[in-house]
């Protein structure tokens, strides 16, 4: 498709003004949130002008690729004014304005630093403020911050801990206005193995605490398995890797469940599921799962080769060597190595002899990309270092020669160290080695005369020895006195000359050149120590020389060997192993190492000169032989930000370092309105308009890609633009899924609905990818594609699959999709966007688009009532689902019956318990509270299979849901591959309300009402009564306690969910009334309470409840009625009767800061008002 083909979209042009097709709620949202305003805060543009502003601004970048900007603008305008697609809110507020910020959310890193580092705590706080000022939301991982109470070495004090700094961020978000429209919105994540995880779980328990954050716990597969098996987990200090505590995984899981059941937070983020779908693993992990290597792992650094535990002990940060296949310089900056605790460790063995021990989730580079150790298969080819590494700054050629010969043909006794030379070596080498030893240990002093160390002929043997007591002392210092068959530490970290001299001497002493003529040539080194050969193999690789070790080349037994006297004798020989260098590795060996003796060097040179075509080229890979569990031990970690890799025992491994999501990444979001893609055929039956949906997805994908270039990134935080352009992530999602299910008469949550959701999401993903490939052909792929799963030279992306095979393709007339064509397109052109799909919150945009259901959620309510004050008169505004009304009418119900049904539905928002609703309608028209937790999760999982990013959805559980229901939802989501989950229990069971009231009362008793020092103290126990009354804000439980004289002493008021604004207002009323009763006064407490009744009675709010004498105008009016009943001033308020009119939101809605109605509910992982459309996201 080309943009010149505008005629195909002419049919989609609106035929009436946009404003005429908007609901009152939609107009209110546009005026309040999206229309530009003047100094008087009144709109200065019309709705049509706003849509033109957005489409014009986004289309303006099309000129960069030679497109007709005016034509594209017209297409974009048609797309969004027909409400087939809606971009995210920042695009509406920022496009064509001086602000120019169009992205929705940004991920900011936080390191354990107060501000010296670019991502230090207060540097990131500054970045957050700047981003939120432009209308963007921010996400953070607090997992890198040291735990509360950890020692601060610079000051000697104790650390505040992550939660303490979250309070600082929360206050800043409260102050900073997001683009002049709302407060800052934040997401905070903490790993489940952080020592402060329990405090993090509880941090939002108190009312109003950290109110500008949603929080999630980052859990791993290992943690969830530990929960299943009732095992313990280590809590690790990220500062130094030390284990702070070992706790039951179930204990932590139960705390997460309890808190989520109480107030919906925290949610859970399944880290391993997220990382499995990471399209750019070479750029980092999303809050990685800390893969680690064993302490004896050799790490190649700018100062030589060191063990991981040695680097951790010194605490220094050195650049590390990286493989040449990443296309960067050899040395790259890296963090210090640090321990990460005791973990299960596995040994990976290769057929070539390379070996390393690491955790099961540590990734190794292979010919098929990064693969976790536990997923390596036999004959997988792992990558080994393919170029010369780096060397230290200490050591000498002489020391390298002496140590190499000692390891090869030397021995260490209690009194001296001995180097032996045989045959031609006596002439060629012994004198020079004697000089080398003398230079190292000095001349011997005898009778005040100094004598050099000289070669000593051994009578009767063809041998010359160089021996010295002082040489033994030197050898002992090198760590070879007890075990000489090893590469000493000084060589690992020695200069290039020292390492080359060590190898040259060792290969001369114990190595051979085997010229096989036409069969090829090889250099071989034999030893009874397999471990020595492995060390030598790793050292050779530092020179770019690969090799292979053959285990037990000859078994143990007696053999005839030279006796040193010119003859042979029988000796018992241990089994020996052989290291072999062949192919073009011989060239590098000859040039950089070689032999000391003329005979061996000439033999090697003669072969290399004789070869015409040259030896075969080394691939620098090793074939996996086995992966086996070896036990538990301390493991170590480092982070290399450029290639996310380092060299461990010669093998290319992924960097261990934890990356808090992908730093500075942001995403441009938008949603397809599924409700606008249903058409009714000639037979009156609804069908999905797949052709129209395809067109919408194609244009929307181009729109979002243009947004990346049209966005005005913050100059003060240049990393934001760099990250956005590097991967060009977009997030095309959906809204109106519940609407389309109503149209097609499919019950939300059913097996049928799960398949339909999967089919629709697969269709969207397919055409989004197809368009992104076309964009890559026109404009080029995203810059970081090399090394990603979409790398055309190494494609590791695989087509997504549904959770269950489709059985209803024909029913909904969706044709099969050719995923092979997508694979072929990626291999030829790459792809324009690293991610293409997500399901983001759609609150206000869905309201504008006229959707009944937001995002991928079910419809929240079929009907509800609002009350408005119009010049002092209460006006009732009733909302009823248009699709529900249409269904009732098509079912043949007359107007009177339909009205009766609607009146009943208004009580709860659901039709499930309403008589005379046809069963077919009852089955289809479910709302959020009618869907079970398992159905919610399975719907999310069905969509997740075709969403490469994440899904914003709230699992709304009914009021009688238990903590076990929440736990089951979390477990099921993990098992089905969801990337995260948020649950919310709408309301509470009565016994839970009373229990909560009891807890709140005990807290009050413990601290009292600390208002005045003259407040009367509370007795140990008081009697009283609790009254139940329905109010516009929910059912209120009012407790009036009296003292021994029967006088009222205190009042407790409980309304709504703990932690909500409604509950806070109720508690405030109760505290103030109690204060009035407990302060000294000449009036009796009863008379004071009567004054309270007179002051509160008759206060009106946004809406009333009930009729006649049972009418409750507001929460204060309801309190007054209850207190009047307690004092005998009025008859009990009726709880039943035909006149009672309930609102849907009486039981679960919170107060809306815009309209004041108790209609704010949790949905799509966000909070929004169903009365006026206000959204916190």
Structure confidence by residue, pLDDT tens digits, 113-127: 887 777 788 888 898
- Active-site pick, 398, 658, 755, 774: 658
The predicted-structure confidence for 173-215, as pLDDT tens digits, reads as follows: 878 754 444 455 788 999 999 999 999 999 987 656 787 888 9
For the chain, give every residue range classified as CATH 2.170.16.10.
Answer: 293-386+623-654
**Pick the residue with more confidence: 344 or 1132?**
344
Report residue 564 as tokens: 């040193």
**Pick the residue with more confidence: 281 or 93?**
93
CA distance 735 to 774: 25
- How many residues are given for the chain? 1177
Residue in 735, 740, 758, 774 with CA at minimum distance from that of residue 817:
758
Q: What is the pLDDT of residue 868?
A: 40
Q: What is the pLDDT of residue 946?
A: 95
Query: Does residue 982 register a pLDDT over 50?
Result: yes
The predicted-structure confidence for 220-268, as pLDDT tens digits, reads as follows: 999 999 999 999 999 988 877 788 999 999 999 999 999 998 888 899 9
CA distance 234 to 192: 10
- pTM equals 0.63
**Residue 105 designated active-site:** no
CATH code, residues 397-567+580-619: 3.10.28.10
- Active-site pick, 656, 668, 856, 911: 656
Return the H-helix or E-strand segment holding 646: strand 645-648
CA distance 465 to 406: 11
The predicted-structure confidence for 629-685, as pLDDT tens digits, reads as follows: 998 888 887 877 678 789 999 999 987 533 333 567 777 899 999 999 999 887 888
Domain 293-386+623-654 sits in which CATH superfamily?
A: Hedgehog/Intein (Hint) domain (2.170.16.10)
For the chain, give every residue range classified as CATH 3.20.70.20.
Answer: 6-102+664-849
Kindly give the pairing relationship between strand 137-141 and strand 105-108.
Answer: parallel
Q: What is the pLDDT of residue 1156?
A: 60
**Residue 656 designated active-site:** yes
Q: What is the pLDDT of residue 177?
A: 54
Q: What is the DSSP string of 1065-1096?
A: HHHHHHHHHHHHHHS--SS-HHHHHHHHHHHH
Residue in 1066, 1068, 1034, 1043 with CA at minimum distance from that of residue 1145:
1034
Using omega within 30 degrees of 0 as the cis cutoff, is the peptide bond preceding 266 cis? Answer: yes
Query: Does residue 1133 register a pLDDT over 70?
Result: no
Residue in 817, 807, 704, 705 with CA at minimum distance from that of residue 761:
817
Q: What is the pLDDT of residue 814?
A: 93
The predicted-structure confidence for 310-336, as pLDDT tens digits, reads as follows: 998 887 778 999 999 888 889 998 878
Residues 6+ apart with CB under 8 A from 352: 546, 547, 548, 549, 622, 623
- Active-site pick, 25, 290, 1043, 1162: 290
Residue in 959, 957, 989 with CA at minimum distance from that of residue 970:
957
Residue in 686, 679, 670 with CA at minimum distance from that of residue 734:
670
Residue in 105, 115, 86, 116 with CA at minimum distance from that of residue 22:
86
Question: H helices of 121-161, where?
Answer: 121-133
Helix then strand then coil, % of the chain, to nearest 5: 40, 25, 40
The predicted-structure confidence for 707-729, as pLDDT tens digits, reads as follows: 999 999 888 888 888 888 989 99
CA 443, distance to chain mean position in Å, is: 65
b/e map of 598-612 (b: 16 or more CB within 10 Å)? eebbebbeebbeeee
The rounded mean pLDDT for the chain is: 84
Lowest mean pLDDT among 285-289, 670-674, 998-1002: 998-1002
Architecture of the 6-102+664-849 domain? Alpha-Beta Barrel (3.20)
The predicted-structure confidence for 520-530, as pLDDT tens digits, reads as follows: 899 999 999 99
**Pick the residue with more confidence: 138 or 489?**
489
Compute the Cα dihedral for 773, 775, 777, 783 and give only its sign: negative
For the chain, give every residue range classified as CATH 3.10.28.10.
Answer: 397-567+580-619
């Amino acid at each position: 498709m080309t943009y010149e083909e505008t005629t195909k979209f002419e049919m989609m042009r609106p035929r009436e003004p946009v404003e005429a097709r908007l609901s009152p709620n939609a107009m209110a949202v546009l005026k309040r949130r999206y229309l530009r305003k003047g100094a008087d805060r009144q709109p200065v543009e019309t709705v049509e002008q706003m849509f033109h502003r957005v489409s014009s601004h986004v289309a303006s970048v099309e000129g960069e690729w030679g497109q007709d900007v005016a034509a594209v603008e017209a297409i974009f305008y048609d797309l969004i004014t027909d409400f087939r697609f809606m971009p995210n809110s920042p695009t509406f507020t920022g496009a064509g304005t001086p602000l120019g910020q169009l992205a929705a959310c940004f991920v900011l890193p936080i390191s354990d630093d107060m501000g010296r580092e670019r991502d230090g705590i207060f540097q990131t706080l500054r970045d957050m403020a700047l981003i939120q000022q432009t209308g963007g939301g921010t996400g953070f991982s607090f997992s890198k911050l040291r735990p509360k109470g950890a020692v601060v070495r610079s000051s000697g004090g104790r650390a505040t801990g992550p939660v303490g700094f979250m309070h600082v961020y929360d206050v800043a978000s409260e102050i900073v206005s997001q683009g002049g429209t709302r407060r800052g919105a934040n997401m905070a994540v903490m790993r489940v193995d952080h020592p402060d995880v329990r405090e993090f779980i509880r941090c939002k328990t108190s009312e109003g605490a950290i109110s500008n954050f949603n929080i999630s716990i980052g859990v791993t597969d290992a943690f969830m398995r530990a929960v299943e098996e009732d095992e313990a987990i280590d809590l690790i200090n990220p500062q130094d890797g030390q284990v702070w505590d070992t706790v039951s995984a179930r204990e932590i899981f139960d705390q997460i469940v309890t808190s989520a059941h109480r107030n919906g937070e925290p949610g859970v983020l399944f880290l391993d599921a997220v990382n499995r779908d990471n399209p750019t693993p070479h750029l980092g992990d999303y809050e990685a799962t800390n893969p680690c290597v064993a302490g004896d792992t050799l790490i190649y650094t700018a100062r030589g080769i060191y063990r991981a535990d040695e680097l951790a002990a010194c605490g220094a940060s050195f650049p590390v060597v990286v493989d040449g296949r990443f296309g960067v310089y050899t040395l790259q900056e890296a963090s210090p190595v640090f321990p990460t605790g005791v973990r299960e460790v596995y040994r990976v063995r290769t057929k070539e002899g390379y070996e390393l021990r690491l955790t099961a989730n540590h990734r190794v580079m292979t010919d098929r990309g990064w693969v976790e150790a536990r997923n390596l298969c036999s004959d997988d080819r792992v990558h080994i270092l393919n170029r010369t590494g780096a060397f230290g700054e200490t050591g000498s050629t002489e020391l390298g020669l002496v140590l190499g010969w000692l390891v090869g043909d030397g021995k260490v006794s209690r009194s001296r160290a001995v180097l032996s030379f045989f045959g031609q070596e006596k002439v060629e080498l012994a004198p020079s080695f004697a000089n080398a030893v003398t230079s190292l240990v000095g001349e011997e002093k005898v009778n005040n005369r100094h004598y050099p160390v000289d070669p000593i002929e051994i009578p009767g043997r063809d041998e010359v020895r160089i021996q010295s007591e002082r040489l033994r002392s030197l050898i002992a210092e090198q760590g070879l006195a007890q075990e000489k068959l090893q590469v000493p530490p000084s060589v690992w970290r020695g200069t290039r000359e020292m390492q080359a001299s060590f190898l040259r001497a060792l290969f001369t002493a114990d190595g051979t050149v085997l010229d096989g003529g036409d069969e090829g040539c090889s250099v071989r080194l034999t030893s009874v120590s397999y471990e020595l050969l492995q060390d030598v193999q790793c050292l050779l690789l530092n020179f770019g020389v690969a090799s292979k070790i053959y285990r037990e080349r000859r078994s143990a037994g007696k053999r005839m060997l030279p006796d040193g006297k010119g003859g042979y004798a029988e000796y018992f020989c241990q089994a020996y192993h052989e290291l072999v260098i062949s192919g073009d590795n011989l060239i590098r060996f000859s040039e950089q190492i070689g032999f000391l003796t003329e005979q061996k060097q000439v033999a090697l040179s003669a072969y290399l000169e004789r070869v015409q075509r040259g030896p075969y080229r080394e691939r620098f890979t090793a074939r996996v032989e086995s992966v086996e569990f070896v036990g538990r031990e301390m493991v170590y970690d480092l982070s290399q930000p450029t290639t996310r890799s380092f060299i461990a025992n010669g093998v290319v491994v992924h960097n261990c370092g934890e990356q808090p999501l992908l730093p500075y990444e942001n995403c441009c979001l938008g949603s397809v309105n599924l409700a606008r893609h249903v058409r009714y055929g000639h037979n009156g039956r609804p069908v999905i308009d797949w052709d129209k949906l395809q067109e919408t997805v194609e244009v929307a994908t181009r729109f979002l890609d243009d947004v990346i270039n049209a966005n005005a990134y913050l100059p003060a935080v240049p990393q934001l633009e760099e990250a956005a352009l590097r991967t060009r992530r977009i997030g095309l999602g959906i809204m109106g899924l519940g609407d389309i299910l109503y149209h097609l008469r499919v019950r939300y949550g059913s097996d049928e609905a799960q398949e339909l959701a999967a089919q629709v999401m697969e269709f969207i993903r397919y055409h989004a990818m197809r368009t992104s490939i076309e964009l890559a052909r026109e404009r080029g792929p995203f810059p970081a594609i090399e090394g990603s799963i979409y790398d055309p030279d190494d494609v590791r992306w695989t087509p997504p699959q549904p959770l269950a095979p489709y059985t209803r393709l024909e029913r909904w007339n969706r044709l099969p999709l050719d995923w092979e064509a997508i694979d072929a397109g990626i291999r030829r052109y790459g792809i324009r966007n690293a991610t293409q799909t997500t399901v983001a919150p759609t609150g206000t945009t869905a309201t504008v688009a006229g959707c009944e259901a937001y995002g991928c959620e079910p419809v929240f309510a079929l009907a509800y009532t609002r009350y408005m004050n119009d010049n002092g008169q209460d006006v009732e505004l009733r909302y009823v689902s248009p699709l529900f009304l249409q269904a009732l009418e098509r079912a043949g119900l007359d107007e009177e019956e339909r009205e009766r049904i609607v009146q009943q539905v208004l009580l709860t928002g659901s039709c499930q318990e309403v008589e005379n609703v046809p069963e077919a309608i009852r089955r289809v028209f479910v709302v959020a509270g009618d869907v079970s937790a398992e159905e919610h999760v399975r719907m999310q999982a069905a969509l997740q299979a075709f969403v490469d990013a994440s899904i914003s959805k709230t699992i709304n559980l009914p009021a009688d849901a238990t903590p076990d229901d929440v736990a089951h939802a979390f477990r099921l989501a993990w098992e089905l591959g969801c990337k995260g989950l948020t649950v919310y229990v709408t309301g509470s069971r009565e016994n839970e309300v009373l229990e909560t009231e009891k807890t709140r009362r005990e807290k009050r008793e413990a601290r009292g009402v600390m208002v005045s020092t003259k407040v009367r103290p509370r007795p140990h126990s008081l009697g009283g009564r609790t009254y139940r009354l329905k109010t516009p804000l929910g059912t209120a439980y009012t407790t009036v306690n009296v003292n021994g004289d029967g006088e009222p002493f205190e009042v407790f008021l409980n309304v709504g969910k703990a932690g909500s604004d409604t509950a806070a207002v109720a508690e405030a009323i109760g505290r103030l009334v109690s204060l009035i009763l407990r302060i000294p006064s000449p009036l009796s407490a009863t008379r004071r309470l009567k004054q309270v009744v007179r002051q509160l009675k008759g206060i009106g709010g946004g809406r009333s409840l009930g009729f006649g004498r049972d009418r409750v105008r507001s929460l204060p009016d309801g309190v007054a009625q209850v207190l009047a009943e307690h004092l005998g001033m009025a008859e009990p308020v009726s709880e039943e009767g035909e006149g009672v009119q309930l609102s849907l939101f009486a039981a679960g809605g919170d107060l809306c800061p815009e309209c004041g109605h108790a209609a704010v509910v949790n949905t799509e992982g966000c909070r929004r008002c169903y009365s006026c459309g206000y959204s916190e996201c």
